[in-house]
């Protein structure tokens, strides 16, 4: 039986407290894939989940490094990007990346993009609002990669996440979906059970101490469904 790799989760290498900034209270620094990432966060923000770097996002970044994953000339979209750390890394690794989250978080994402993305890379990075289940039709269905980390926090969001993934993906799309099971284990497991009815789902990495799983997913096709049911 396949055993997912168990690895140590990357940690920030340093941080800087800042004053008089309405967006960020701290700048976190991370070293991964040969890049030093500078990520502004505001843990006390009323905007909650999107204002700090969560373990599952670090898990995806670490997984990309360990596996040597590159996104050169690939079309990438991230759902619920939060601070934007995963998308920023994907862009630095060559991807044409669309970074999405709720409208009120976009200004902070754009600032983090400006901290990290050289001017020569900026044409390949877009920051856009995407409310799951509402704005899907504004986006195409031809993405090579979809990235998700720690986006299942509420039962009511699972159907809209599924609807959005189904719209954005095609049979060639690879989805990397990282979840921290500590934040509502039953909810997270229920969400992945729901998604696995529509996507081939493989656990490819686990960060045991932090309780983070990284899944690789692909859309079920008639042939894979037939194989699964046979």
The tokens for 108 are 């902070």
**Nearest in space to 74 (alpha carbons), one of 149, 155, 143, 12:** 143
Instruction: Specify the DSSP element, H or E, that contains 113.
Output: helix 106-116
Q: What are phi and psi for residue 166, nearest 5 degrees? A: -65, -40
CA-wise closest residue to 84 among 69, 101, 68:
101
- Average pLDDT (26-41) is 96
pLDDT at residue 5, as a whole number: 60
Which pTM value belongs to this model? 0.92
pLDDT at site 182: 81
Instruction: State residue 74's pLDDT score.
Output: 97
b/e per residue 41-57 (b: at least 16 CB within 10 A):
bbeebeeebbbbbbbbb
Rounded CA-CA distance 22/10 in Å is 28
Tens digit of pLDDT for each residue in 116-169?
A: 999 988 899 999 999 999 999 999 999 999 999 999 988 899 999 999 999 999
The number of CA neighbours under 13 Å toward the Cβ of 223 is 2
- State the DSSP code for 58: H
Q: Which of 61-65, 118-122, 194-198 has the lowest mean pLDDT?
A: 118-122
pLDDT band at 222 (very low <50, low <70, confident <90, very high): low
Length of the chain: 230
The rounded distance, in Å, linking the Cα atoms of 178 and 229 is: 26
Joined tokens for residue 230: 């046979």
Which residue in the block uniquely carries the two structure tokens 């970074």?
A: 99
pLDDT band at residue 227 under the 50/70/90 scheme: very low
Beta strand residue intervals within the chain, DSSP E: 5-6, 14-17, 26-32, 35-41, 75-79, 96-101, 125-129, 145-149, 174-180, 199-207, 212-219
pLDDT, tens digit (0-9, with 9 covering 90-100), for 90-113: 999 999 999 999 999 999 999 999
Q: What is the mean pLDDT of the chain?
A: 90
Distance CA 62, CA 101 (A): 22
Q: With 60 as the cut, is the pLDDT of residue 36 above it?
A: yes
Domains (range + CATH), the chain: 52-229 (3.40.50.150)
pLDDT band at 9, cuts 50/70/90? confident
Once rounded to an integer, what is the mean pLDDT over residues 83-89?
98
């Amino acid at each position: 039986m396949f055993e997912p790799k168990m690895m140590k989760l990357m940690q920030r290498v340093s941080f800087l407290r800042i004053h008089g900034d309405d967006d960020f209270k701290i700048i976190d620094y991370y070293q991964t894939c040969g890049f030093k990432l500078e990520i502004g966060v505001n843990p006390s923000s009323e905007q909650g989940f999107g204002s700090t770097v969560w373990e599952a996002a670090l898990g995806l970044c670490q997984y990309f490094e360990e596996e040597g994953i590159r996104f050169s000339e690939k079309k990438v979209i991230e759902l619920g990007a939060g601070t934007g750390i995963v998308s920023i890394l994907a862009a630095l690794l060559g991807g044409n990346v669309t970074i999405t989250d709720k409208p009120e978080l976009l200004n902070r994402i754009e600032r983090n993009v400006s901290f990290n993305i050289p001017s020569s890379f900026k044409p390949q990075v877009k920051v856009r609002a995407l409310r799951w289940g509402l704005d899907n039709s504004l986006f195409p269905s031809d993405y090579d990669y979809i990235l998700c980390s720690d986006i299942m926090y509420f039962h009511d969001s699972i159907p809209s996440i599924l609807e959005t993934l189904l719209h954005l993906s095609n049979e060639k799309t690879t989805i990397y979906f990282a979840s921290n099971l500590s934040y509502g284990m039953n909810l997270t497991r229920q969400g992945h059970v729901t998604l696995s009815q529509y996507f081939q789902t493989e656990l490819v990495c686990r960060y045991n101490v932090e309780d983070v799983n990284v899944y690789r997913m692909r859309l079920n096709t008639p042939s894979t469904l037939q194989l699964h049911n046979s």
